[in-house]
Structure 1
Amino acid sequence: MVTNDSPVVPPLRTARAPRPVRGRLILLGPAFVAAVAYVDPGNFATNSTAGARYGYLLVWVVVAANLAAMLVQTLTAKLGLATGRSLPELCREHLPRPLNRFMWAQAELVAMATDLAEVIGGAVALYLLFGVPLLPGGLIVGTASFAILALRSRGFRPFEIAIAVLLGVIVLAFAVNLVTAQPDVSDAAAGLLPRMQGTDSMLLAAGILGATVMPHVIYVHSALTPNRLPTEGEAQRRVVAKGLRVDVLIALGVAGAVNLAMLLVAASSFHGTSIPGTDTLEGVHAGLATTLGTAAAVGFAVALLLSGLASTSVGTYAGEVIMQGFLRRRIPLLIRRMITLLPALAVLAIGVDPTRALVLSQVVLSFGIPFALIPVVMFTRRRDLMGSLVNRRATTAAAVAITAFVVALNAFLLWQLAA
């Protein structure tokens, strides 16, 4: 049995060293990979559309979704650390085979919906920046994601750093646009009061939720934390668990700020104006050029492109984690990339409105959230699996409340759309 006086392995010794910056950095990384999926092109579409149509009305949805995401990703990271296995692997081991197959099928659909948003968003960005037609742009984005994925062959650190750098550029672009837009602080604060304006605002709220608490990244995050740092016993696992919580708070705090900035910029620049088409990505780009200047429009398009490239890499990795975990099977990365590209390329080829496709894809993601959340809550409350990292009762209650809210929101949407 390992006690608090047991020798600490080198990575943990570094993390606990008196040099706080270097030590904390070793424990950071997995949540930044997750965070880039929280600022993917689907977020651009849902948040910008919400701000342009409803002003500051849905600020509370963005904030609430991000707080929920912090809790969910903390549980997910802790699950991988405590068990040494990803969420799909745990589902395969503990769920009946028919249910496990169903879970795999819906998870693959969720991953494909994710890739749809990311490739379309990147293609739109290439069109806005360089005039590249959407279909060739989708092919370019899908192919370019291989360069980022290739970094995984060198270990987890280069991949995490590359994703964090891309996230940093996205943050910078929206920070500049937010300062330039100068949104009304009092109106933004009033947007923290929960309220809706009809079914369309509910649809956008579900889209924001699906674009923030993303099912595929729940699977990914659980696969990034097992065996990342060698640990021996509960004492050392608690050290790493504390670092993972900090990782989540920083990374998702940054992602949440970007999401909020997207909505605030659109609300202050477009809501109540006569600028046309500002509920589309192309319209937002043109509108920013009109209201804030060319630099703001270019910054938006560059951030959109980097978001598409980074998030589609994470999405492809998610598909690998899903198949390997639920079915214990692998297919070559090139074949998987081609399969997941097909829906996005089909949408681009037939001329469906890209922004509409992005928003609807995020609604699909919202319907996939309960199937990822429920197993996370089930497993993290089991002491036989989690050891000392088992959930407290309050934590489980909060996670159950989030899951219940998502299920209720989706049921209401189905009822409204069918009426």
Structure 2
Amino acid sequence: MSQVDTPTSGPDLPGPGDSGPGDSGPGDSGPGDSGPGDSESAREQIRGRRLRSLRHLALLGPAFVAAIAYVDPGNVAANITAGARYGFLLVWVLVVANLIAMLIQYQSAKLGIVTGRSLPGLLGERLGRRARRSYWVQAEVVAIATDLAEVLGGAIALQLLFGLPLVLGGIIVGVISTLMLTLQNPRRQRTFESVILAMLAIIVVGFLAGLVVNPPPVGDVLGGLIPRLHGPETVLLAASMLGATVMPHAIYVHSALVVDRHGIAKTPERRKKLVRATRWDVVVALMIAGAVNIALLLLAAQNLRGKEGTDTIEGAYRAVADTMGPGMATAFAIGLLASGLASTSVGSSAGAVIMAGLLHKRIPLLVRRLVTLIPALVVLAVGVDPTWALVLSQVLLSFGIPFAIIPLGRLTADRSIMGEFADGILLRIVATVASAVIVLLNLALIVLVITGG
């Protein structure tokens, strides 16, 4: 529905004592002159534009929280591994994944704005009891894989910075992230967003600093934009990078974040305003997250390729210290720590949304946190290689993506649910192609695992 401006009065016609068009009466300013009234009107218009800009800025925020999921330690592991082993070969994967992420996060936020419900909540209303619980199981596995990556990353960062044992580091990350979760409710949503934004700033500085010191050749970066794969392991890495970039739990939680932040939009005008603001929110937030991911791969491709042991986070840290100095290595580790703390908080928030929507139960905060935290601590305790565990967790996330994006696409295309905000034909086609690419990539992974390729 387009908004039409209706005039409040009819056209101004000159009366018997009025001057006609183009005429100037006594005391009127001549052509090109402006009186005090015109100057004051111009200032009012400028102030009005500034006020509208501030109001639009005030609507931004939920996408930046969701974007934290796109710069978590799983991304660090997957992107560093790809860059260290294959140079600039897989840059195109990150570009494609980030474009898909923008589309999907916009759909998720739009669904929340228009319906006032989260994606898991809408699915929970439409699925039967058995289907709903089965769907929750796969979503919970995704949440556990997410927390595994984030707690592992934070623990590795604490070990690099302070020499702490990984298990102790994991416990510290779990405790701090649980405290941060107490800020995540509708009354404290802006405070939670402010904390997450501060951590996002630390992540950006920590991961981009090394790239500024030693930038890669432009030709090599452009060459990495040509889609191609070399062997089965690059397929595995591509799936890992895709799983780390298009995050199922971020899709689930974004639809809830906009409701917590803006409340239920009760009028079409309010919904239009929020949908417009959400487009900017998603584009800006995901451009920042995409830049960080690409920077990580470029950093590894430029500085770590061919060096023994640099396809792990610990090896990358040591190599950065050797090639660019301890200051850059410390910045990298601090960025990794901020990434782990912020992303595990967002991931736990997503777990709460999934449980509430699909189980129709409110689970205590501590119980929710332990469900996803304990598996991560077990992995740390048994001595599994942390970086490889991170990469495999991202592959597992990739398998969970279709369960999030296919129902999302069906709901946002349904006019009975979305009304005038339903996806258009072009958006539906693009979303279908994106879903098909992800599903085919996962099928290729299954074949590789079965055949031992």
Q: Who is 2:41 aligned against?
A: none
- Paired with 2:73 and 2:97, the residues of 1 have a C-alpha distance of 17
Q: Equivalent residue for 1:33?
A: 65
- Change in Cα spacing, 1:306 to 1:227, as seen in structure 2 (3 Å) is closer
- Shift of the alpha carbon at 1:18? 4.0
The partner residue of 1:246 within 280, 284, 287 is 280
| Aligned pairs for 1:166-205 within 5 A | 166-205=199-238
| Larger Rg belongs to | 2
Partner residue in 2 for 1:65: 97
Counterpart Cα distance in 2 of 1:270 and 1:160:
34
Report the number of matched residues.
Answer: 408
Moved more, 189-198 or 23-32: 23-32
CA distance in structure 2 between the partners assigned to 1:310 and 1:35 by the alignment: 10
| CA distance, structure 2, for counterparts of residue 288 and residue 110 of structure 1 | 32
Give the CA deviation at 1:20. 4.3
SS at match of 1:152: coil
Structure-2 separation of matches of 1:80 and 1:411? 31
In structure 1, how many angstroms separate the alpha carbons of the residues matched to 2:332 and 2:157? 9
Q: State percent identity of aligned pairs.
A: 54
Task: Kindly indicate whether the alpha-carbon contact (under 8 Å) linking 1:2 and 1:235 is maintained by their aligned counterparts in 2.
Answer: no
Q: Does 1:267 align with 2:306?
A: no
Residue number among 388, 393, 400 corresponding to 1:356 in the alignment: 388
Report deviation, 1:70. 0.2
Matching residue's letter, 1:267: A
Are 1:413 and 2:438 an aligned pair? no
SS at match of 2:419: helix
The answer to whether the Cα contact below 8 Å between 1:82 and 1:386 also exists between their aligned partners in 2 is yes
* Other-structure match for 1:9: none
**In structure 1, distance between residues paired with 2:260 and 2:299:** 41
Change (3 A) 1:209 1:22: same
Taking the aligned partners of 1:227 and 1:312, their CA distance within structure 2 comes to: 19
Aligned partner of 1:294 in structure 2 is: 326
- Whether the 8 Å contact between 1:370 and 1:407 is mirrored in structure 2 is yes
- What amino acid does structure 2 have at the position aligned with 1:289? A
Q: Is the 8 A contact 1:2 1:233 kept in 2?
A: no
Q: Distance in 1 between matches of 2:375 and 2:141?
A: 11
Task: Choose which of 398, 402, 405 in structure 2 pairs with 1:366.
Answer: 398
The answer to whether the aligner puts 1:256 opposite 2:295 as a matched pair is no
1:4, distance to aligned residue in structure 2 (A): 6.9
Q: Is 2:262 the partner of 1:214?
A: no
- Between the aligned partners of 2:200 and 2:159, the Cα distance in structure 1 is 21
- Please give the alpha-carbon distance, in whole angstroms, between the structure 1 residues aligned to 2:382 and 2:221: 38
CA shift for structure 1 position 342: 1.0
**Alpha-carbon distance between aligned partners in 1 of 2:3 and 2:105, rounded to the nearest angstrom:** 28
Q: Distance in 2 between matches of 1:415 and 1:199?
A: 10
Contact 2:113-2:271 at 8 Å conserved across structures: yes
Establish whether residue 233 from structure 1 lines up as the match of residue 267 from structure 2: yes
Residues 254-277 of structure 1 deviation map (CA, whole Å, 9 limit, x = unaligned): 000000000000000011x3x221
- Assess if the C-alpha contact under 8 Å between 1:234 and 1:387 holds in 2: no
SS of the equivalent of 2:71 reads: coil
The answer on whether the counterparts of 1:234 and 1:388 sit within 8 Å (CA) in structure 2 is no
Call closer, same or farther: CA 1:302–1:19 in 2, change over 3 Å. Answer: same
How big is the shift at 1:99? 2.1
**Structure 1 counterpart of 2:123:** 91
Query: Post-superposition shift, 1:336?
Result: 1.6
For 2:143, the aligned partner's letter is A
Superposed CA offset, 1:79-125 (max 9, x none): 01111100011101123332222111100000000000000000000
What's the offset of the Cα at 1:5? 7.7
Which residue identity lines up with residue 399 of structure 1 in the other structure? A
Structure 2 unaligned spans of 5+: 7-47
> Does the 8 Å contact 2:208/2:296 carry over to 1?
no
- Structure 2 letter corresponding to 1:293: G
Please identify runs of 4+ aligned residues in structure 1 that moved more than 6 A.
Answer: 1-6
**CA–CA distance in structure 1, aligned partners of residues 434 and 130 of structure 2:** 26
User: What secondary structure sits across from 1:193 in the alignment?
Assistant: coil
Task: Please provide the CA RMSD for this pair.
Answer: 1.7
Q: 2:421 — aligned with what?
A: 389
Quote how far apart the aligned CAs of 1:344 are. Answer: 0.6
Alpha-carbon offset, residue 2 of structure 1: 13
The DSSP-based 3-state class of the residue aligned with 2:183 is helix
Cα contact 2:190–2:261 (8 A) shared by 1: no
In the alignment, the residues of structure 2 paired with residue 171 and residue 2 of structure 1 have an alpha-carbon distance, to the nearest angstrom, of: 39
Is the partner of 1:331 in helix, strand or coil?
coil
Which amino acid counterpart does residue 293 of structure 2 have in structure 1? Answer: N
* Segment drifting more, 101-110 vs 363-372: 101-110
Q: Please tell me whether the aligned partners of residues 81 and 227 of structure 1 are also in contact (alpha carbons under 8 angstroms).
A: no
The match for 1:277 is 309
Aligned 1:335-354 pairs, distance under 5 A = 335-354=367-386
1:398 matched to 2:433 = no
DSSP 3-state at the match of 1:226 = helix
CA displacement, residues 304-362 of structure 1 (integer Å, 9 cap, x when unaligned): 00000000001111111001001110211112212211111111101000000000000
Q: Aligned-pair distance for 1:227?
A: 6.0
CA shift, 1:146, in A, is 2.0
Cα distance in structure 1, aligned partners of 2:158 and 2:266:
48
Q: C-alpha distance in 1, partners of 2:2/2:191?
A: 32
- 1:183-239 deviation per Cα after TM superposition (whole angstroms, max 9, x unaligned): 111001000000001110110000000000000111100111126335332222111
Aligned-partner Cα distance in 1 for 2:354–2:296 = 30
Q: Distance in 2 between matches of 1:297 and 1:229?
A: 40
- How much has 1:27 moved relative to structure 2? 1.1
Aligned to 2:33: none
Task: Give how far 1:152 is off.
Answer: 2.2
Q: Which amino acid aligns with 1:57?
A: L
Question: What's the TM-score, normalizing by structure 2?
Answer: 0.87
